[in-house]
Amino acid sequence: MIGIAGAGKIGAQSALEIASMGLDDIAMVDIIPGLAQGEALDISHRLSDAGIDVDVNGSEDFSTLKGASLVVIAAGMGRKPGMTRMDLLNKNAGIIASVTREVAKNASDSVLLMMTNPMDAMTFVALKASGFPRERVVGQGGLLDNSRFKYVLSKKLGVSRGSITSLVLGEHGENMIPIASHTYVSGVPLTTLLSEEEIQQAIDDTRKVAAEVIAKKGATVFAPGRVVARMAKAIVDDTKEVVPASAYLQGEYGINGICIGVPLKLGKGGIEKIYELKLSDKERDWFNKGADTLREAVSTLSI
Question: What are the catalytic residues?
Answer: 172
CA atoms of 270 and 240, how far apart (whole Å): 9
Q: How far is CA 239 from CA 3, 165, 198, 271, in A?
A: 19, 19, 35, 12
**In terms of C-beta distances under 8 Å and separation of at least 24 residues, what long-range contacts does 248-253 make, across chains too?**
248/123, 248/124, 248/127, 248/134, 248/137, 249/274, 250/134, 252/276, 253/287, 253/291
Q: How far is CA 67 from CA 41, 71, 281, in A?
A: 21, 10, 46
CB 295 within 8 A of CB 175: no
> Which of these, 32, 45, 44, lies nearest to 5 by C-alpha position?
32
Q: How many residues does the chain have?
A: 303
Cβ neighbours of residue 78 closer than 8 Å, sequence gap 6 or more? 8, 9, 10, 117, 219
Supply the DSSP string of 239-264, one letter for each residue. Answer: --EEEEEEEEEESGGG-EEEEEEEEE
CA atoms of 226 and 204, how far apart (whole Å): 23
